Amino acid sequence: MQLLSEREWLAYREKNKDRARMLISCPDRAGIVAAVSNFLFQQGANIVQSDQYTTDPETGRFFMRIEFDLINLDERCEEIKQAFSPVAESFGMEWSLVEANKRKKVALFVSKEDHCLLELLWRWKSGELFADIAVVVSNHPDMQETVESFGIPYRCIPVTKDNKPQAEEEQIAAAEGVDLIVLARYMQILSPRFLEDYAMRIINIHHSFLPAFVGAKPYEQAYRRGVKLIGATAHYVTEELDAGPIIEQDVQRVSHQEDVETLKQLGRQVERTVLARAVRWHLEDRVLVYGNKTIVFP
């Protein structure tokens, strides 16, 4: 895989320089799609993709993701936001407007297992993940050489039960200004102090379908149960351990013939692809959180 060339990057930027994404959540009622579409038409925008979902047409919650092109978007973005505010207020909307060609800044956290980290780095290097990876943070030095070979800064911050608060302050400082933190098999529990600044902006990968086989040695537990499916779950991190809103899941069929090591190998393959999908969907503003669930637009 090759890093996007300057020419390819300029082509991508040119293609998307006037493209924006609007995310909307509000009480469902008649007229929402018409109001948003009419507003964009009046602004001279061309809608290129629109997805919507309602939990209940009568009394539910309405969700919408809409992409549009608008000439001179960079110059007009703030103007569009101000002009849309009365429309949003009339429908009680929670909403955001994002410029598609603006890269989000990402921090990756990892411990010793490298499979999820490498998958993200490879996809980033190939241009599949449109983001700036600002730093990789780890509590071990093992991955430093690999990460720095990608031209990405590496911060090793050891964590023990005695220095955890201090270590977390260093981690927060290292990740300052990022839009997303990805726990690529980072094997430390984040404190509420850490989480409060990154609500629904930290993604974790977990073996199996949550909450199955929690705790130590999950694949050994699965083997003893004679499972026929193994899987992985990517979710947003909340204070309740491994119970945040689920973004993506997948499974691999297995049989009695697989031993524990084979289960682990298959599990790693599922983990890396599930996490990469979840990160990509977040970067492309395809995920809306509703309570402890997500709406993920294709």
259 is catalytic: no
User: Which domains does the chain carry?
Assistant: 17-97 (3.30.70.260), 102-294 (3.40.50.170)
Segment 13-44, tens digit of pLDDT = 556 689 999 999 999 999 999 999 999 999 99
Q: 162, 242, 259, 285: which one is catalytic?
A: 242
The CA-based dihedral angle spanning residues 273, 275, 278, 279, taken in that order and rounded to the nearest 10 degrees: -110
CA 256, chain centre distance (Å): 34
Predicted local confidence at residue 11, as pLDDT: 57
What ranges make up the beta strands (E) of 57-99?
61-69, 94-99
Query: Tokens standing for 158?
Result: 């050891």
Mean pLDDT, residues 198-206 taken together: 94
Cis peptide bond prior to 298, omega within 30° of 0: no
The per-residue pLDDT for range 115-134, each reduced to its tens digit, is: 999 999 999 999 999 999 99
* Burial class of residue 42 in the structure, from the number of CB atoms within 10 Å of its CB (0-12 exposed, 13-18 middle, 19+ buried): exposed
Q: State pTM to two decimals.
A: 0.90
Could you report the per-residue pLDDT of 149-164, keeping only the tens digit for each?
999 999 999 999 899 9
Nearest to 209 by CA among 182, 234, 244: 234
Give the pLDDT score at 10. Answer: 54
